[in-house]
Chains A and B, each alone.
Chain A
Amino acid sequence: MASTTANLGLTLPAVSDPADIGALNENFKKIDALGGYGLGGSAVSVNDLNTALNCGFFCWSSDCLNAPFGYGMGITINRFNGRYTQLLFNPWMGSYGEIVVRHYNGTEWIPVEWVNPPMSLGVEYRTTERWNGSAVYCKAVEFGLLPNTSYKAVNHGIDSYKKCVRYEIVNSYSTRMLRGDRSVTQVDVGSSNIQITTSTDMSNHNAVVILWYTKQ
């Protein structure tokens, strides 16, 4: 007697059944509808990303646990040895397009890593970038007005800061790039503060310093 498969409902004729071209064609139609990759249908809605562990597509809304943003869609790749990788997409209004990666190493979830962080002011992001094997974090720090032929220190508020990999100084008021400006003669990034020295009056420039760094 014929049975059906668990996932796609394909007909499985019994060995003793006569060949049925109609049943075979129905099976082919179901497989073809999936695009030939074994995937199809809509993403499954989940309420905790830590439970979305089967290979496939899923989505979530604002009440979902362990999600880096309110609404999103994702893909889980489930390895045979209890290790998982999730690729998460933010398709929602206002901040389209962020991509985040999560890994479960068999013991715990690694903190989320941003491919393209939204760089909200004062918010730290762990990125997919590496420096000498260590995870690179980034943060946009409000520096305020640059000093007038002097120096100014601003607390970057980063815990366990280790090393600055690179930085950028963005002028909030204009398109003028401040990193490399000859009036900005020195930039020091210490474990607590960013200190900028200027050789002219730059107090009409409001700056945001973007840091990329590793942590202890």
Chain B
Amino acid sequence: MKWLKYTHRSVVTETDMEGNAVEREVFTEMAVPDNESGRALAEMEAYNGEYEIYDDGEPEPVTPETGGDTAVWDELDAAYQAGYKEGVDSI
């Protein structure tokens, strides 16, 4: 499946030993599916608006559609049992 990979930048404010506020940047690598909602997320979060498309060669996992529907849980469980979890680290 195709992913959008990008770097997220956040800035945290910390206090140094003299009591002064100091800003520190934290960069985190993120990935979302290459679909409409994923693209919207990537465009909001990507540092400098830059993201790349990456294909991990894995099949598309099951995505839940509604909250509270027991069928969703069954689908997720089936996907998990089918090795969905192993795909987490192949991104």
Q: Within 8 Å CB of A95, what residues of B?
A: 15
Q: Within 8 Å CB of A120, what residues of B?
A: 12, 14, 24
Contact among B8, B24, B41, B80 with A203 in the assembled complex (CB-CB below 8 Å): B41
Quote the shortest CB–CB distance from B1 to chain A (angstroms): 10
Query: How far apart sit A93 and B14, CA to CA, in the bound complex (Å)?
Result: 11
**Contact: B40 with A142, CB < 8 Å?**
no
Quote the shortest CB–CB distance from B26 to chain A (angstroms): 4
Query: How far apart sit A54 and B91, CA to CA, in the bound complex (Å)?
Result: 51
Interface residues of B in 47-91 (CB under 8 A from A): 61, 63-69, 72-73, 76, 80, 85, 88-89, 91
Is A47 in the interface zone, CB < 8 Å from B?
Answer: no
Chain B residue nearest to A146 in the complex (CB): B41
Query: How far apart sit A195 and B86, CA to CA, in the bound complex (Å)?
Result: 11
Chain A residue nearest to B33 in the complex (CB): A150
Q: Within 8 Å CB of A71, what residues of B?
A: 17
Quote the shortest CB–CB distance from B66 to chain A (angstroms): 6
Quote the shortest CB–CB distance from A95 to chain B (angstroms): 6
**Contact: B37 with A149, CB < 8 Å?**
yes
Query: How far apart sit A114 and B40, CA to CA, in the bound complex (Å)?
Result: 39
Quote the shortest CB–CB distance from B25 to chain A (angstroms): 9
- Decide: A199 near B67, CB < 8 A? Known: A94-B19, A185-B72: yes
Is A128 in the interface zone, CB < 8 Å from B?
Answer: no
**Contact: A155 with B63, CB < 8 Å?**
no
Q: Within 8 Å CB of A93, what residues of B?
A: 15, 17-19
Is A157 in the interface zone, CB < 8 Å from B?
Answer: yes
Q: Within 8 Å CB of B24, what residues of A?
A: 120
Q: Can you report 11 residue pairs joining A to B where beta carbons are below 8 Å apart?
A: A94-B17, A120-B14, A142-B8, A150-B38, A150-B63, A151-B33, A153-B88, A154-B29, A155-B28, A186-B76, A199-B69
**Contact: A142 with B26, CB < 8 Å?**
yes
Contact among B33, B41, B63, B91 with A193 in the assembled complex (CB-CB below 8 Å): B91
Chain B residue nearest to A195 in the complex (CB): B88
Interface residues of A in 124-167 (CB under 8 A from B): 141-145, 147-155, 157
Interface residues of A in 179-216 (CB under 8 A from B): 182-183, 185-186, 188, 190-193, 195, 197-201, 203
Most buried by B among A95, A148, A199: A199
Chain A residue nearest to B86 in the complex (CB): A190
